[in-house]
Structure 1
Amino acid sequence: MNALTPASKINLLDFKSVPMRTFHLTWITFFLCFFGWFGIAPLMPVVREDLGLTKGQIGNIIIASVAITIFARLLFGWLCDKIGPRISYSALLLLGSLPVMFIGFSNSYESFLLFRLAIGVIGASFVITQYHTSVMFAPNVVGTANATAAGWGNMGGGVTLIVMPLVFGAFIGMGYLDATAWRYSMVVPGLALFIMGFVYYFFTQDTPAGNLADLRKNDPNYQAKTKSSESFWTICKDYRVWGLFLAYGACFGIEITIDNIATLYFVDNFHLGLKEAGIIAGLFGMMNIFARALGGIFGDKAGKKFGLKGRIVILSAFLLLEGLGLMLFSAIEVLPLAIAAMLGFALFLKMSNGATYSVVPFINKRAIGMVSGIVGAGGNVGAVLAGFLFKSEGLSYRESLFIIGVAVVAVSVISFLLSLPKETVEVQNAELQPAYEKVNA
């Protein structure tokens, strides 16, 4: 492997080469971002009591935590092209750490809502993570690298739900009251993000060949050579992009929604304590240790055998099973069965995440970045729409989950329809065949 070119294999024990060092720092950073983004979620039962929040206000807070991420992902995707992922990630970490640490100054619903909105910017970390691993790895392993980095990072959402109640409990053990302990608890993830901002800046670089600023300085034509040949509006005219936009909203959008409400759901519906509910809710996120990567692997295998159509059919099947699992979970009132149902739909949800991004690179190989950005934003649009259900005073959380399950099933049908236009699929498969032959050679 040439040190100046993307890595053609993944060696998890390699911490010295630029691609693998970047891979490890990227997924670890993304992992920590979930502590900042969702660190407050498992503490919401305490915050609800402290600030006297209503169900509608909690719904608005859930929406705020994911709404701004839509715009942040588009912004930081553009910044990655302009200034590189290294500086972009470092800036996001340093700036994003501030509202995480300072949310403890909230003393009203309005101030808490504004801090939660600001924290949502950290969700742009996904785009930078996918961008950075994409430029560090060759086509034969980039899908695996992307799925693994994203999956291990997403696992932070589950660990957060388990660890933050323990951090909160540690402050209680030091003698702090609940109203003070949750505030001090949020300083921990905020400080971790702040430190990681400097680590990322000094120990990664934009590409295997160097940082963008140096490459552009040494080669005036570098910008022109790496610029996409497709316009943003051309990408927007491709209906398949919007089909994947919906698909990612139906999987990742629901994932971050469950991250937000899972602890509250188990506290309110099964009368559990904060720590017990946090541990159970955390199991949902821990599925990412393997499930997202598994979705990408199934997508790759189907793609090699059946082409683009195979990838899309696999995605549709996973979405269908996710939706049915959600409906089943919403109806169960026995705790052990509810946990089993949650893990079942979580498996297919996270596999859908991976399967979505096994399709994305093959929609338009001349504009992978723009397609990734739009589809990624779709995840947050899905979370925002789900949030409106959870803020409704007329719907219980169980009823909201059932409606979401029905919507996911509908999206699975729409996703399947993307595989039907035979001519388009044949053209795509013809374009991709040389790449498969090169990888298999």
Structure 2
Amino acid sequence: MSETGKFNIFSFTGKMKILHLSWFAFFITFFVWFNFAPLLQSVKASLGLTTAEIKTLLILNVAFTIPARVLIGMLTDKYGPRLVYSALLAVCSIPCFVFAFADSFVQAAIARFALGFIGAGFVVGIRLVSEWFPHNELGTAEGIYGGWGNFGSAAAAFTLPTVAIMFGGDDGWRYAMAITGVMSLLFAFVFYASVTDTPKGATYFKPKQLGAMEVTSKGDFFLLLLMKLPMYGALALLAWKLSPTGIGMLSDSAVMAIYSVLALIYCYEVLQVWRVNKTVFEKPVPEVHRYKFKQVAILNVLYFATFGSELAVVSMLPLFFSETFELTPVMAGMVASAYAFMNLMSRPGGGWISDKFGRKPTLLILTAGLAAGYFLMGQVDSSWPLWLAVVAAMACSFFVQSGEGAVFATVPLIKRRMTGQIAGMTGAYGNVGAVCYLTILSLVDYSTFFYVIAATAVIGFITLLMMEEPSGQIAEINEDGSIVMIDVANR
């Protein structure tokens, strides 16, 4: 199922070409998705927005990503990464252009909400990379894909203000944002022309039905329905933050309407899950085709704590350093960027360690480090030397981002034909975590915020004890009915 050949990061042929094109596609999606934050003050002044309206745009920027990652995961499994990634890059350039040239809050809000869809691009590459790399290189490859692509957000923060200044004037920010849209549109064509879903001669396995994730036991059916609830809960929480109780963008009746729609969609999802999986109540699934959904549920919890905390901490860390050590905003931003910079090596490092020492042992060590790291961050106050606080943040960041790499070193080893859906659900849990943590931050002080993340990491560690190390092979079925066995670990 994967291409043989040496793993050479400096090569641009075969599987390495696919890896480089994949991480750059992911890089562009994050570059576009996070193009707002570094230009926030310019947007606020140009459009005459209030602080509440700016906060609303920040919330809308992440809201749509939760359902989008689940949907894009399904589409990827059905239609292939090449088509889905290319279409996503092209289509999402449209709301990017709309936002760049918006002249009212309503236009900006609609465009920002739609742009949340581009944050789902991550899950497409997870499936594509898994098709090209063998199990013993998969963690490293997925880590490079995730870590280098994720750096798109930091690249946006560093480059876009300069680009805006180069254009100059009140509209400099518009041209800077429009350029990110052009990059997304152009690379959509490059990606489509340069990538194939699998190595030559390999089969791209697809789910039997589109509409819901397949499970292979009665217990897993109910666990799947349970694990969907937090995603709807996070969307309801976002609606609450927009209500009169929160920032007051929506009326009480509008928020109640959103709650009702979310409840109806969940009921529809229950019906879809039943339609796809009702056969598990009629006869047992053959042993060779079974997988344990608890593996997916555990990875969801771990990604909630890792990527969820990363998104939340990146959002608040400049302010934390500014207030704690009385730094200027520019200096605080530079100091806080040390946390994001760790992504370049930490995420690939977590994947590489997983390849060498096993998925579960690596996750156990990194999750324990994650809990300890955030507990340490909760101790930081103005009595600390600044350099020591930065070292603590970087150490914590290493465990967070290495943990993310280790999670997605495991995702493709559960069930090949559903890798997109599994990655989509796990990725969505990262956004659910961010929503929950940022809501908690609005209610408590910084120390308590860090301690809460540490506590959820401990919960993740406990659930991880129930995880089973991927071993042996997983079975997939060719169109002619023959069974193919795919290695997921050394035998």
For normalisation by structure 2, the TM-score amounts to: 0.72
The within-5 A match list for 1:64-79 is 64-79=60-75
Given that 1:267 and 1:277 are in contact with CA atoms closer than 8 Å, whether structure 2 keeps it comes out as yes
Are the structure 2 counterparts of residues 410 and 101 from structure 1 closer, same or farther at C-alpha, using a change threshold of 3 Å? same
Matched with 2:159 is: 163
Which of the residues 338, 343, 357 maps onto 2:408?
A: 357
- For the 8 Å contact 1:240–1:418, the answer to whether it is kept is no
Taking the aligned partners of 2:381 and 2:295, their CA distance within structure 1 comes to 31
1:105 is matched with which residue? Answer: 101
Alignment of 1:104-253 (within 5 A): 104-172=100-168, 176-177=169-170, 180-209=171-200, 230=215, 233=221, 236=224, 238-253=293-308
Within 5 A, what are the aligned runs for 1:338-353? Answer: 338-353=389-404
Among 233, 245, 254, which residue is 2:309 paired with?
A: 254
Question: Residue 319 of structure 1 contacts residue 411 of structure 1 at CA under 8 Å; is this kept in 2?
Answer: no
Alpha-carbon offset, residue 47 of structure 1? 3.0
CA change 1:54–1:333 in 2 (3 A) is farther
SS of 2:64's partner is: helix
**Change in CA separation of 1:379 and 1:185 when aligned onto 2, cut-off 3 Å:** same
Q: SS in structure 2 opposite 1:385?
A: helix
Q: Aligned pair 1:417/2:468, yes or no?
A: no
Amino acid aligned to 1:31: F
Q: Distance in 2 between matches of 1:365 and 1:223?
A: 9
What does the per-residue CA deviation read over 1:233-276, in whole Å, with 9 as the maximum and x for residues that have no partner? Answer: 477274453333232122212223344455566677755355x5
Residue 151 of structure 1, CA deviation: 0.8
Change in Cα spacing, 1:348 to 1:309, as seen in structure 2 (3 Å) is closer
Alignment partner, residue 10 of structure 2: 13
Letter in 2 for 1:378: Y
Structure having the higher helix fraction is: 1
Residue 236 of structure 2: aligned partner: none
CA shift digits 1:6-65 (9 cap, x unpaired): 345422232122x22111111111112211010111122333444455554444333222
Q: Unaligned stretches of 5+ in structure 1?
A: 217-221
Aligned-pair identity in percent equals 33
Q: Residues 291 and 350 of structure 1 are in contact (CA less than 8 Å); yes or no, is this contact kept in structure 2?
A: yes
Deviation at 1:309, TM superposition (A): 4.5
What CA distance in whole angstroms lies between the structure 1 residues aligned with 2:56 and 2:456?
A: 25
**Cα distance, 1:85–1:131 mapped onto 2, change above 3 Å:** same
Summarize deviations over 1:161-183 as a string: whole Å, max 9, x none: 111222222223xxx13xx2222
Measured after TM superposition, the shift of residue 407 of structure 1 is 2.3
Using the TM superposition, name which of 83-92 and 149-158 deviates more: 149-158
Residue 36 of structure 2 is aligned to residue 24 of structure 1: no
Q: 1:201 to 1:271 in 2, by over 3 A?
A: same
Does residue 323 (structure 1) correspond to residue 374 (structure 2)? The answer is: yes
Residue aligning to 2:344: 289
C-alpha separation between the residues in 2 aligned to 1:234 and 1:430?
Answer: 27
Q: 1:372 aligns to what? A: 423
Question: What's the CA shift string for 1:288-329, capped at 9, x where partnerless?
Answer: 1101112223334442xxxx6423412321321342244245
**Partner of residue 219, structure 1:** none
| 1:33 paired residue number | 29
Structure 2 unaligned residues grouped into runs of 5+: 226-292, 475-486
Is 2:139–2:405's contact at 8 Å kept on the other side of the alignment? no
Superposition CA RMSD, Å: 3.4
Question: Equivalent residue of 1:205, what SS?
Answer: coil
